[in-house]
Amino acid sequence: MPMLKMISATTMVALLGATVAHAQARYNGFSVVLLLGETQGAAGGDGLPPAPALRKALADVKDFLPYRSYKVLDTQWQRSGSTRMKGFDDQEYDVDVIADEIVPNPFHPKEGMLNVIFKLEEVGAAMNASEEYGRAIQVAEMEKQRASLVAQLPNAQGTMLQEQKARIERLDKQIRLARARKLIESKFEMAPGETVVVGTSKIRGGDKGLVVLLTAVAAGGK
| All structural domains of the chain with their residue ranges | 26-124+181-218, 129-176
Return the DSSP state at 42. P
| Residue-level pLDDT at 36 | 92
Mean pLDDT, rounded, of the chain: 83
Give yes or no for residue 4 having a pLDDT over 50: no
Burial level of 35, CB count in 10 A (0-12/13-18/19+)? buried
**Is the Cβ–Cβ distance between 77 and 97 less than 8 Å?**
no
Q: How far apart are CA 165 and CA 50, in angstroms?
A: 41
**What pLDDT sits at residue 170?**
94
Q: In angstroms, rounded to a whole number, what is the distance separating the alpha carbons of residues 166 and 3? A: 71
Q: pLDDT of 107-128, one tens digit each?
A: 777 778 899 999 999 999 988 8
Tell me the per-residue pLDDT of 7-44, one tens digit each, with 9 for 90 and over.
Answer: 444 433 333 344 444 445 577 889 999 999 998 866 55
Residue 3 in this model has a pLDDT that exceeds 90: no
Q: Please state at what angle helix 158-178 crosses helix 129-152, rounded to 10 degrees.
A: 160
- Amino acid (one-letter) located at 94: D
